[in-house]
Amino acid sequence: MRTAARAAIAAIAFTGLVPGEAGAHLVTTGLGPFYDGISHFALTPEDLLPVLAFALFAGLSGPSAGRAVLFVLPVAWLSGGLLGLSRSTELLMPALTAATLLVLGALVALDRRLPMVVVAGLAAALGLFHGYLNGTAKLGALGLSGVAATLFVVVALVAAYVVSLRAPWSRIAVRVAGSWLVAISILMLGWAFRAG
């Protein structure tokens, strides 16, 4: 876990060396690119919902998985973002977000414990993918750092809360939330392929 923490600190420090440029179409708070990144994440449900879903899943998977996700997800997000900074994408965002939510919601709803390596791998995949999309949106290195910091806080709070749940009904409530995410993702697929 210390290695993961060191990697996180190194990745965040590295962003200071990468020239960042705030995109004109992104949320501008007037407080600087770091806060623009935080606002972008908080106001972009396509990013926020999958992260919340993964935090729920990490919490249900136990403290070890939660700690791994806490570091892997922000680092992967940042890495993906840096990779995407100089690129553009034509990806079908709503359909991909729906697919991500469908998988994560199903994992939460089913409450299946997966090996920690698999959980960390899924976190890395989610982080790289969404981070890359953030990068192609020209969020800038500092903006990406803001996103990564917010991710860390969100995952820490949500996963820790879920880990702390002891009453059987409370875990069921989390699983119901997972089923809602599945329902949302199914509807989103309908929106993505809407007729007319």
Find the helix packing angle between 168-192 and 93-110, rounded to 10°: 160
CA angle in degrees (0–180, nearest 5) for 184-41-135: 105
Query: Of the ranges 73-81, 111-119, 126-134, 181-189, which one interacts with other proteins (CB under 8 A)?
Result: 181-189
Lay out the site mask for other proteins across 145-174 (x = CB under 8 A, - = otherwise).
Answer: ---------------------------x--
Is residue 2 close enough to count as binding other proteins by CB under 8 A? Answer: no
Query: Which one, 164 or 191, has the nearer CB to other proteins?
Result: 191
Q: Which of 97, 91, 89 is nearest to 189 (CA)?
A: 97
Residues 13 to 72 in contact with other proteins, rule: CB under 8 A: 25-31, 39, 43, 45-46, 49
Say if residues 15 and 78 touch (Cβ distance below 8 Å): yes
What is the CA 79 to chain-centroid distance, rounded?
Answer: 13
Q: Which residues make up the interface to other proteins (CB under 8 A)?
A: 25-31, 39, 43, 45-46, 49, 94, 97, 109, 172, 175-176, 179-180, 182-184, 186-196
